[in-house]
Amino acid sequence: MKPIVKIRVPRTSSPIAPARSVAFELLLELRRKPESHSDALLRSKRVEALSSLDRNLATTLVMGVLRWQLALQQRIREALTKSRGHLADPVQVALELGALQLLLLERIPAHAAIFESVELTRQSGNSYAVGLVNAVLRKLAQAPRLDAATAADPSAAEIAGATAHPLWMVERWVAAYGLEAASAICRYDQLPPPTTIRLISPQAEASLREEGLQLESGVFVARARRVVGGEMPGTRGLVRIQDEGSQLIAELAGHGSAILDCCAAPGGKTVILAERNPNATITACDVSPGRLKAMQTALGRRPGGNPIRFRTLDATELPFDRQFDLVLCDAPCSGTGTMARNPEIRHRITEADLGRQHDRQVRLLLSAMNTLREGGRLVYSTCSLEAEENESVVAEVLERKKGFRLLPWREQAQTLELEGTLHAGTAERLFPGGAPDYFLRTLAGAYPGDGFFGACITRD
């Protein structure tokens, strides 16, 4: 693997704005390290060291390039004067950064976008390509801007082209959910996702509003709020940032006295299980010691309740036999329901990857089922939109392991509505018109949040 190119020039004398320099570094790292994630890099010290305005610009540049990369690359290819082979990574990233600013962003002068992309190319040790970058970006400055609008009745190919998604992915969603829903998913993926929080204390909302934060209620969960205005202040333990779909899965999991969260990190759902079950014994497992340690540090000790037990374990080989009456198996997955906040996913996964994910998820769920007591509840969930990771996994494990069956969701949702945990009408929104309720699904674009899947299994 090539070493990561990092621009190390004094910020005071460099002709490159700090935000563009950091965005360039992060995009190079994402390109060269497939295991890296944009959300983690955008919380790194390099970004935190920037001013508030520069942090916002760096985030806009990184996420914009990742969301629109397929379209940007197509425009760049069209602007090249002759066919060329593979461009060096720093040259390609500089071109994509410049193209994004010229074709999609407002209020950025064309001369600034071109000049700084040329300088990024030069300072990364690719002076030979300075002329190419300059010429391509000058052409793009005169070209029509990118537009995500589609025809009134678009095809899968038109949706994919307009929203910079892989065609194979869009075709799957059209087949599974229909043209309208697939188009809504793709359009949602191209926008910054809302910041969704969970209120921890009764006084949290009033305190946040006093500090200038504008909030809207969540769609499903009573304690969920979307931030629609203002800058998130220091929360002092009053709120937790967590997507509403993630909150919904944990709320629907319900109650137990002995609880297992077998893929627990980073811990958002574990905390909700602890809030809803203050006297339960909770065991939180994860295969990564580092992630589990960070989770343990973040959660600390449960006030007034039993401490959470943390175990570093591979969830496909859990050493528990019928010990738990509530199990949450939030499986690692492709994450196609989270591409608004993780846009790089669309460039990294293939259809073949879904089959490999399926095989591991089957092993994981079979292992989790072994830990469940008779009459207990096991919630299997993913943030994937793909049937191979969802319905197909559940169908296979129920075929292979007798003595288990699916539980419907509607009654559980209605019970949580009555107790005020979920908003009235949530069950009808999730299962409109009496739709089958054995599989729970939220679709990004149909509501302002990530796409999630959930199924509830019991041992007879």
Rounded CA-CA distance 177/357 in Å is 21
The number of beta carbons lying within 10 Å of the beta carbon of residue 89 is 17
Rounded CA-CA distance 135/16 in Å is 19
User: Would you state the structure tokens that stand for residue 135, as one six-digit string?
Assistant: 């010429």
Residue-wise pLDDT for 378-421, tens only, equals 999 999 999 999 999 999 999 999 999 999 999 999 999 999 99
Residue-wise pLDDT for 221-256, tens only, equals 999 999 999 877 665 577 889 999 999 999 999 999
Rounded CA-CA distance 137/349 in Å is 29
Residues 6+ apart with CB under 8 A from 72: 65, 95, 96, 99, 100, 103, 146, 164
Strand positions, DSSP E, 275-419:
281-286, 309-312, 324-330, 372-382, 404-407
pLDDT at 166: 97
Rounded CA-CA distance 289/118 in Å is 43
Of the CATH numbers 3.40.50.150, 3.10.20.30, 3.40.50.300, 3.40.710.10, which one belongs to the domain with range 243-459?
A: 3.40.50.150
What's phi and psi for 447, nearest 5 deg? -150, 160
Whether 152 has a pLDDT exceeding 80, the answer reads: no
Q: How far is CA 371 from CA 107, 326, 453, in A?
A: 57, 9, 21
CATH 1.10.940.10 for domain 18-141? yes
Please state the domain extents for the chain: 18-141, 156-189, 243-459
Cα-atom radius of gyration of the chain, to the nearest Å? 24
Taking residues 361-365, report their average pLDDT.
98
pTM: 0.91
Cβ contact 401:369 at 8 Å: yes
pLDDT at 435: 82
Q: How far is CA 320 from CA 45, 258, 311, 423, in A?
A: 40, 12, 12, 36
Whether the bond between 266 and the residue before it is cis, its omega within 30 degrees of 0, is: yes
Taking residues 145-163, report their average pLDDT.
85
DSSP assignment of 206-228 equals HHHHHTT-EEEE-SSBTTEEEEE
Whether 312 has a pLDDT exceeding 50, the answer reads: yes
- In the predicted model, what is the mean pLDDT of the chain? 91
